[in-house]
A and B are shown apart, each in its own frame.
Chain A
Amino acid sequence: MMHMLGLSKNLINLISVTLFSISIVACGVEVENNLPGVPTTGFYAAVGANQHATESTVQVAAVIFVDGEPINLYGGDVIQASTTVDSTLLLDFGYYVGSYTSELRNSANLDQIDFEIVHKPVEARKDRWYPVDHLYTDPGPGELVGSSASIILPPGLAVITPVAGSSYTSINDNLNVTWTPLGAGDVMKIYSAVSCDDGTKIKTYGTQATLVDDSDDGSETINLDQFIYNSENLPISVNLIQGQARAMLLALLKKLSNGGILDTFFANTTPVNPISTNCEVRLFLLRQRPGSFNLPSTNGIVFGSRSAEVTLDYNPAN
């Protein structure tokens, strides 16, 4: 995303970066909100956009690191996300330190989302209470202004099976997730947001399913133990959602609930054992497509996705 003028010596050749989970303590709680998997040297950028099936807005997010530390934009330098019709400035701080987020209105349901670092000293202050067009200081554009990336959102999708409200009684049950395939080379992801209620306490967490085949072939069979686990067996058997996926899904849940979901939804701290508790599993299916930085030599990850969801019930057999 970023053309680092005068800093080319520190650029790392573009590599395929896989965000891996940070080490998880026994209770599955993250102890810091730093994006995991960031290289400790050089520049690194993470950019993402997702449009959910029921929404007319795209969640956009970006973060830039140098030597493992997030860069704080300042003075009116701000990331802009836009289609050819709509645009927004990423003025909100994201879940991870140094990340910026916003919602981009996609009134024309376009696929191409462009990101660019722009210098807008007045617009970047628009949320302040006083007249920012009259009282402001402009320190001038920074060296990152002009850097850009592009994302093409893949076509939308819908979950055909399992149907909404399907009920399961054992973590050994299989789910056959099906959707209409496109075969365009996109990557499929399955995430979950789980709420388990034992009558007095509610435990919430999220998982990333490990797929045998993540190609867009229209079908994936998953075992329910990718979403429901026995907390008495350590280490826990599910892959708790982390990294950009966690930030994206949290932002989506907050959007869908009009802010009713807290930042701690994925903290997984409540002492309730999912395997023996009635749980609601919100299963999110994503079709994901990589984007591109304006400079191919930029290190980082950029992707666009469209998502759909189905809600399932887990009611363990007594």
Chain B
Amino acid sequence: MLKILRIILLSGLFVPALSFADNMFVDVNLLFSVPDGGGNSDFHTGKTLLVNYNFYLKPWLIATGGVFVTEKISTKPVTDVVSKHQETIDSRGITFGVRSEHKFSERNKIYGRLGFLYYTTELTVEEYFTPGIPVSKVSDTTDGYGYYAGIAWAHSFSKKISLQLELYSMAQLDLFKGKTSTPFDLKNTGISIGVGYVF
């Protein structure tokens, strides 16, 4: 968490410079996805809120940075030899990347974006063994790096407001590296709906 705060503070040093840019906009997106932890992970659909700050480097090239936070997303309960168990994850983090646009009509454009992310994720494991033994709940937090990519269509309703529909994927790499012999990657791919606002 301290790492995230340091990065955000460092990013803030550039805000005064950015405020003089000709075109800046913010987009807020809600991603609907089914997380994939690999193996037999079987999550419910979850939602992730992504907020990005964007400024044009060129008419077709945008630098973008933002934050994301997921809701608590659980797996479907599974019974195996040990217990009936269910896992829950929730993540938050920051993103840095670029976005490239192509405007094909006055109000419509397509864009793609690519970048890196820094995540903090909490994983909770809940187990029910047998009557008479209390339900067990263990959790831990991990952080690390990953990447994201997306491709989208945006439609402008006015000069300032646009709607964007995006196919988006983010990957958190090597969760719990250093704490386990089996670190894993967590991928989130889905459809996001968002709104952009031009300053």
**What residues of chain A have their CB less than 8 Å away from a CB belonging to chain B?**
72-76, 78, 89-91, 93, 100, 121, 124-125, 127-137, 139
Distance to closest chain A CB from B30 (angstroms): 26
CB atoms of A139 and B129 under 8 A apart: yes
CB atoms of A74 and B83 under 8 A apart: yes
Inter-chain contacts of B129 with A (CB < 8 A): 74-75, 139
Inter-chain contacts of B184 with A (CB < 8 A): 129-131
Inter-chain contacts of B182 with A (CB < 8 A): 131-133
User: Does B139 interact with chain A (Cβ within 8 Å)?
Assistant: yes
Closest 6 CB pairs of A and B: A129-B39, A131-B180, A137-B136, A129-B41, A134-B180, A74-B129
Inter-chain contacts of A130 with B (CB < 8 A): 37, 41, 87, 123, 125, 184
Inter-chain contacts of B106 with A (CB < 8 A): none
Q: Given A91-B81, A128-B85, are A136 and B130 neighbors across the interface (CB < 8 Å)?
A: no
> Given A75-B82, A75-B133, 15 more contacts at CB 8 Å?
A74-B82, A90-B81, A100-B81, A124-B82, A125-B82, A127-B39, A130-B37, A130-B184, A131-B179, A131-B182, A133-B181, A133-B182, A135-B125, A135-B138, A136-B125
User: Does B176 interact with chain A (Cβ within 8 Å)?
Assistant: yes
Contact of A133 among B40, B83, B123, B180 (CB under 8 A): B180
Distance to closest chain A CB from B127 (angstroms): 6
Inter-chain contacts of A72 with B (CB < 8 A): 130
User: Does B38 interact with chain A (Cβ within 8 Å)?
Assistant: yes
Q: Given A124-B82, A125-B80, A129-B41, are A134 and B133 neighbors across the interface (CB < 8 Å)?
A: no
Distance to closest chain B CB from A251 (angstroms): 17
A44 to B79 CA separation, bound complex (whole angstroms): 24
Inter-chain contacts of A76 with B (CB < 8 A): 82
User: Does B140 interact with chain A (Cβ within 8 Å)?
Assistant: yes
CB atoms of A128 and B80 under 8 A apart: yes
Distance to closest chain B CB from A142 (angstroms): 9
Nearest A residue to B179, CB-CB = A134
Contact of B140 among A100, A124, A132, A135 (CB under 8 A): A135
Q: Given A72-B130, A129-B39, are A134 and B82 neighbors across the interface (CB < 8 Å)?
A: no
| Interchain Cβ contacts under 8 Å between A and B, 29 examples | A73-B81, A74-B83, A74-B133, A75-B133, A91-B80, A93-B81, A121-B82, A124-B81, A125-B80, A125-B82, A128-B40, A128-B80, A128-B85, A129-B37, A129-B38, A129-B40, A129-B87, A130-B37, A130-B41, A131-B176, A131-B181, A131-B184, A133-B182, A134-B176, A134-B179, A135-B138, A136-B125, A137-B127, A139-B136
CB atoms of A127 and B123 under 8 A apart: no
A136 to B138 CA separation, bound complex (whole angstroms): 7
Distance to closest chain B CB from A16 (angstroms): 30
Inter-chain contacts of A135 with B (CB < 8 A): 123, 125, 138-140
Distance to closest chain B CB from A93 (angstroms): 8
Inter-chain contacts of A100 with B (CB < 8 A): 81
Nearest B residue to A137, CB-CB = B136
Distance to closest chain B CB from A122 (angstroms): 10
A91 to B85 CA separation, bound complex (whole angstroms): 15
Within 8 A of A (CB), among B115-131: 123, 125, 127, 129-130
Inter-chain contacts of A121 with B (CB < 8 A): 82
Question: Which of A76, A129, A136 has the largest number of chain B CB atoms within 10 A?
Answer: A129
